[in-house]
Amino acid sequence: MLTCPLCSAPLQAADNGVGCPLGHRFDRARQGYLNLLPVQHKNSRDPGDNQAMVEARRRFLDGGHYAPLAARLAELAARRQPDRWLDIGCGEGYYTTRLAQALPAAEGYALDISREAVKRACRRAPDVEWLVASMARVPLADASCGLLASVFSPLDWQEARRLLTPGGGLLRMGPTRRHLLELRGRLYDEIRDYDDRKHLALIPEGMQAVHGEELEFRLTLGDAQARADLLAMTPHGWRASAERRAAVIDAPLEVTVSIRYDWIERLP
Ligand SMILES: C[S@@+](CC[C@H](N)C(=O)[O-])C[C@H]1O[C@@H](n2cnc3c(N)ncnc32)[C@H](O)[C@@H]1O
Ligand SMILES: [Zn+2]
């Protein structure tokens, strides 16, 4: 099912990696992931989230603070029972691992452009095929996936449509306008409102939103490390002033976690 990121021909297993009939070769890293991001497709030397962001997200998520979000994501995926699924922008694999547990009979793939993220992610679930790759040129065949997951990540909608089987769908999870409201209140003088349905306007022809729901709960972060990690894994970590960030880390915090799930289907 994998395709060559340079010429789109099918990839076959070749010693310690994969290769296409034109002779393009890609190695499997010692940790187990495949690097399918050719140098010429990289916009920077180390694209995607850096090591510090990945470490912060891993510690925070492993602390269980967002466990209800992952549990609901897994439930929604389990309803679909796809033959093959792909997590696009998988990060360090916390949600991917829950998807793999929810879909034990299916063939699972996960990709991220950040090598630091995939290096850590692939330890979590060896049965998933982990890829360092770009979501703008996903190295999988047309109509090959019954389910795509996009969790707190950007998305290339044209690629999503290309990858989906007719009747398959994209399970998207993202913040609502209330997400981390109290944190934003402490960081900024003015809380910028945003439209948490604007992704729905981007759905291309041939795809249709068929289900949407929200999940909201209060989270108390009594631990300074957890507050620092939450800051480091969100854009607020670098947007706000150093003073305001330090103040957030210093004092206990109670925040609203508010998430929206959408199931967006490819029409048959
Ligand atoms: C906010 S993180 C979410 C990670 C993970 N889904 C989670 O929620 O824990 C967004 C991820 O998208 C990845 N990313 C950004 N641009 C990308 C691209 N063009 N192709 C693939 N991944 C990309 C980043 O490296 C990062 O890991
Ligand atoms: Zn090739």
Taking the CA of residue 135 as reference, the ligand 1 atom at the shortest distance is: 20
Q: How far is the CA of 11 from the centre of ligand 2 (A)?
A: 8
Q: Is 5 exposed, middle or buried (0-12, 13-18, 19+ CB in 10 A)?
A: buried
At how many degrees (to 10) do helices 94-102 and 67-78 cross? 40
pLDDT digits (tens, 9 = 90+) for 50-99: 888 889 999 999 999 999 999 999 999 999 999 999 999 999 999 999 99
Q: H or E element: which one contains 245?
A: helix 242-250
Taking the CA of residue 49 as reference, the ligand 1 atom at the shortest distance is: 25
Q: How far is the CA of 2 from the centre of ligand 1 (A)?
A: 20
Judge contact between 122 and 42, C-beta under 8 A.
no
Locate tokens 């340079």: which residue? 6
Q: Within 10 Å of residue 13's Cβ, how many Cβ atoms?
A: 10
Q: In the numeric block, which tokens belong to residue 81? A: 């029972």
Q: In the numeric block, which tokens belong to residue 105? A: 């009979």
Supply the pTM of this predicted model: 0.96
> 91 CB less than 6 Å from ligand 1?
yes
Q: H or E element: which one contains 158?
A: helix 157-163
pLDDT digits (tens, 9 = 90+) for 103-146: 999 999 999 999 999 999 999 999 999 999 999 999 999 999 99
Q: How far is the CA of 30 from the centre of ligand 2 (A)?
A: 22
> 171 CB less than 6 Å from ligand 1?
no
| 266, β-bridge pairs | 207
Least confident of 27-31, 198-202, 235-239: 235-239
